[in-house]
Amino acid sequence: MSAAVATVYTLPACVQCDSTKRLLTRENIEFNVVDLSQDAQALEMIQALGYTAAPVVIAGEEHWSGFKMDKILALKN
């Protein structure tokens, strides 16, 4: 299991968000979910990082937008 707990910032009806959460679960990587449509402060933070699309994954000092299988699998190391 990864050392850092990932946080996945999602939106409703987001296919890439669902794929990201599914892969994290399958690989037994611990993560929290924040729904950007319900958390204005989190949305502001994500926008301040320059992201305009969900999901946004933050794990330790790493962060990215979209479904990135290679980055998710790297969290296991």
Q: How confident is the model at residue 4 (pLDDT cuts 50, 70, 90)?
A: confident
Is 1 part of a structural domain of the chain? no
pLDDT at 1 over 70: no
Q: What is the CATH classification number for the domain harbouring 58?
A: 3.40.30.10
Instruction: Look up the domain containing 56 and give its range.
Output: 6-74
Asked if residue 63 belongs to a domain, the reply is yes
Please state the pTM of the whole predicted model: 0.92
Looking at the domain assignment, is residue 35 inside a domain?
yes
Count of domains for the chain: 1
Average pLDDT of the chain, as a whole number: 94
Which residues, at least 6 apart from 20, have a Cβ–Cβ distance to it below 8 Å? 8, 10, 55, 57, 67, 72
Confidence of residue 3 (pLDDT cuts 50, 70, 90): low
For residue 43, is it within any domain?
A: yes
What does the pLDDT read at residue 2?
Answer: 43
For residue 42, give the nearest of 62, 33, 12 by alpha carbon: 33
- Per-residue pLDDT reduced to its tens digit, 25-54: 999 999 999 999 999 999 999 999 999 999
* Contact in structure between 5 and 12 (CB atoms under 8 Å): no
Identify the pLDDT of residue 29: 96
Q: How far apart are CA 75 and CA 14, in angstroms?
A: 22
